[in-house]
Structure 1
Amino acid sequence: MSTEDKLTIPQSELVQRWQSELQQHLHGGDQAEVRADEANPDGLLVQIRSAGRQNLEFDFSVRYVDSREIEIGLSDVERDGQAVDERSDVLQELIVDYRRHLHECAQTLQPYTHA
């Protein structure tokens, strides 16, 4: 990664922009909470609570590889506070959908993140 393409936006501002923008990319009723990843100055921790009666929570880590590209990791899926096996087809579809929303959010924020 060249130094010209390094993320330069302060993490606190990145969190605020993601928190405000991500909700626009989710389905109605889904809720997101964005926090700073204390272990990584170019990272965010995103929790998405899916709408409906399933009480599902998805925990993602988002790390900026450079000022435009993100890397997404899934750290946990819970139902009613209990970890669940995310390999079911239904959960895999939701995970793919949420990953797409995270990428869309990053693209929308490129005017702020791209040096």
Structure 2
Amino acid sequence: MAQERIRISSDWGEVTAELADNEAARALARLLPLTIDMSDHLRQEKTGHLPSPLPDQERQRELSSGMLGLWDSDHFVIYYRGGRVPLPGLAVLGRLTGDVSIFDRPGRVSLRIERIE
């Protein structure tokens, strides 16, 4: 089965991403399309809340630029810088295939997330 692809767009630009092959990513795909208001956190990520929780997945503490993840059951994150996060870590939802630098700016942004058919 091919990886599910999504488009993430905002006033700042547009990127695509491939979702991970796990239950949380499949649950995210079932919520689409959706709009999420995101804010900047620690100058490494954009964070926002999903309309409903996703199933938990295996977590990791190391992250890289372009990762899509789940911090809490409804806490969606896009990392535009790599690093390490504290326990319990991040459940990986996918990876951006576009230019992640569009998120590397302070402030809030509204994102539209939808499937690519």
Same fold? TM cut 0.5: no
Higher strand share: 2
Bigger-Rg structure (1/2): 1
Where relative contact order (Cα < 8 A, 6+ residues apart) is larger, the structure is 2
Relative to the length of structure 1, the TM-score reads: 0.30
Relative to the length of structure 2, the TM-score reads: 0.30
